[in-house]
Amino acid sequence: MRHFLTTLTAASVLALTACANQPASTTSAPSAAAAQTQAPAQPAISAEAQAALTSAEVAVKDAKAKNALWTTAETAIKAAEEAAKTGDSEAVMKNAKTAEQQARLGLEQAKGPALELKNL
């Protein structure tokens, strides 16, 4: 059920992002000139890679909010985001999967008992 909700959330975010990026139907000359001066669009990644990235971002955000984020998850999500900027869907999926797994493991670890340090 949890995975379903995460996937549903990722799909919703993806759909809303796509709608937000739709250009206006009326184009004026100044806005067309402004569009030409903007930086070129970043390469697109596959829908599956975008969903994996969104799901991983949700998991990492959740783990970070609960102070359970592992540094390996943080490194992996940054690598996935960089791969998304270059349009490398395969690297996005690989790093997003790692980030999500590491974030989930961090959350599971946080559920465990606190470590008690005794006089060593």
pLDDT tens-place string over residues 11-29: 555 555 655 555 555 444 4
Rounded Cα distance between 79 and 27, Å, is 37
Written as one string, the DSSP assignment of 63-107 is HHHTT---HHHHHHHHHHHHHHHHT-HHHHHHHHHHHHHHHHHHH
Model confidence at 98: pLDDT above 60: yes
Domain ranges of the chain: 44-111
C-alpha 119: how far from its chain's center?
Answer: 42
> Tokens standing for 87?
């349009």
pLDDT of residue 28: 47
Which residues are within 8 A (CB) of 26 and not within 5 positions of it... i.e. 6 or more apart? none
Residue 112: pLDDT over 70: yes
- What is the pTM for the complete model shown? 0.61
Averaged pLDDT for residues 59-78: 96
- Give the pLDDT of residue 16: 55
